[in-house]
Structure 1
């Protein structure tokens, strides 16, 4: 019996080392998710409001998920060092739940990418039609047009139907050259087209989604399947410790 314990001790030590390393990496992914969630909440809130029909909880989901992963990452390190079978099994169960959640999220994002594009077209068009240069969505439209150097939904003609156009013309955020673009030009339907960006914002945003959704889904699947490695490590370590009645000091 003692000989068997001596033979399995290096295996347990190896599994313990691998699981601690994995838990540390897992903890880092949680910190990244938390940072992205906070960034999305404070920096991308207006942009997200243009994509969703209603106020979205996506940043809060990322913040909550990141915080939970950080806590369980630390728990995984503690469970590994403590050598507690039930803690390791609980950690493995949590990793399996994370795996399923990320797998569903990745598949949903890839499968429903066309619906996301359709929703963006509808909500962005509504934001342009009801633009007033003051509310959150209007400011988000301005930010999109300035940063992407675009104008309107499909092109600058989208603004001709806006409630903002009769009195104010096309918004200044559409100007191709701010030094050569004044309010009187923007109110003139004949002169304005030569002063603003010609490309619509919808095409730029959706081409980005189409180009990068596959990459995003692939990264999500990769991270999801990495949870299986941690789950297997935790289960194997728990089994070895239970079978050999090995306790880590």
Structure 2
């Protein structure tokens, strides 16, 4: 029993180490490799976008994922040291921190679900309001919503929220009088735009003036793709959080098991 318990502690802590590293990677990918589309999840309760550089809920969850993954890596090493040295103190410390981390994980999962529902209910109206009040559509002018929406149009190869005529309501679109659709509605070299921020038309340079199905994306609206991207990102984070929570519970249980075995052995734990 004692040997089995010690092996279980080692196996679970190695698993926790691996899961923690994966959680770190998932959180970092969500936070860093988002091509600015993540900003579109920052819609407020009044269906508007604030240009203040405050973190949105996905960024907060991603940051928590990074922190949780890092803590799990540290606690797994602590647990392995406790098992290797037969130290009740190290094992108890590891189990105690895991309990706290598990409770925080449950709170984050609940908060993520509730906030995601709020964002989804305000997303469509928020995007429409953003195009009307904030969309500039020019690389020479900095506006977080405008650049994020342009990135979304290039990334998802789409145009407008419901259709390309949505830009007719824009009050700040610089090229509104000369173009029928923004340049990012055209078929562009995607990698050049995303990485170099330049318009390189892959079909027709006159697309903005005369958009057709063969030289632009006017037949494909963006709303479902943007909503789907946000939902998929949230789902990935929730699944990862659930797996992490399950591994944390295992870590707590095997640590308690080994602590009890150490306490019941008059000569200390012997594998």
TM-score normalised by the chain length of structure 1: 0.79
CA deviations on 1:162-187 (whole Å, 9 max, x unpaired) are 2215245322221247444435x524
Match of 1:140 among 134, 148, 151: 148
Structure 2 counterpart of 1:205: 226
For structure 1, which runs of at least 5 residues remain unmatched after alignment?
A: 1-10
CA deviations on 1:140-180 (whole Å, 9 max, x unpaired) are 22222122121112221221122215245322221247444
- Name whichever of 47-56 and 148-157 sits farther off: 47-56
CA RMSD after TM alignment: 2.9
Alpha-carbon distance in structure 2 between the residues aligned to 1:45 and 1:123: 19
Distance 1:215 1:32, change over 3 A: closer
Alpha-carbon distance in structure 2 between the residues aligned to 1:168 and 1:104: 51
Alpha-carbon distance in structure 1 between the residues aligned to 2:154 and 2:21: 31
Structure 2 counterpart of 1:98: 101
Distance 1:138 1:211, change over 3 A: closer
2:77 paired with 1:74: yes
Pairing of 1:158-173 with structure 2 (within 5 A): 158-162=166-170, 163-164=172-173, 165-167=175-177, 169=179, 170-173=181-184
CA contact (8 A) 2:135 2:146 kept: yes
Report which of the two has the higher share of helix.
1
TM-score normalised by the chain length of structure 2: 0.73
Structure 1 counterpart of 2:50: none
Alpha-carbon distance in structure 1 between the residues aligned to 2:74 and 2:38: 28
Distance 1:181 1:115, change over 3 A: farther
> Which structure is larger by alpha-carbon Rg, 1 or 2?
1
Match of 1:37 among 17, 27, 30: 27
Pairing of 1:112-151 with structure 2 (within 5 A): 112-129=115-132, 130-132=134-136, 133-134=138-139, 135=142, 136-151=144-159
Distance 1:158 1:46, change over 3 A: same
Number of matched pairs = 235
